[in-house]
Amino acid sequence: LTSRMQAITRRKFGLKRSEINFGNGFVMDVTARTVRHGAPDTPEVPLTKKEFDLLHYLLLHKSRVLTRLQLGEHLWGNVLEDDSDSNYIDVHIKNVRKKLAQFGSADFIETVRGIGYRAV
């Protein structure tokens, strides 16, 4: 799965290295599974595995609205039901925004009311 996601990243963003630049100086290194703001010697944004996977999936589908169900299926498989009242995704989105805000701007993830989220 990791190899497939790296291949998709290379094709989509045309990068020789496994890095995604996503605005305001933030850089995601897919191979090292790190997110940094600024120069390579700056501290990493401390994301959990799920938070990193969520942000990476949103960036791979940048500008496309992803439903909570799509995000849940990507992160956990088919364990979340379509009509689930769980707020797992919302909590992880909130945590990613909060952690990115500590290093700069957190406005990369847009909420689309009643549908899901989009990376902008």
Confidence of residue 8 (pLDDT cuts 50, 70, 90): confident
Q: Read off the CATH number of the domain in which 28 is found.
A: 1.10.10.10
Total domain count, the chain = 1
pLDDT in tens, 35-60: 998 877 888 999 999 999 999 999 99
SS3 content of the chain, % helix, strand, coil (to 5): 40, 20, 40
Four-point Cα dihedral 86, 119, 63, 60, nearest 10? -90
Specify the length of the chain in residues.
120
Range of 72's domain? 2-119
pLDDT in tens, 63-106: 999 999 899 999 988 765 655 667 889 999 999 999 999 988 76
Sheet strands side by side (includes 66-67) = 66-67, 116-119, 109-112
Q: How far apart are CA 41 and CA 48, in angstroms?
A: 20
**68-76 and 49-60 are packed helices; what angle lies between their axes, rounded to 10 degrees?**
130
Which pLDDT value is given to residue 93? Answer: 96
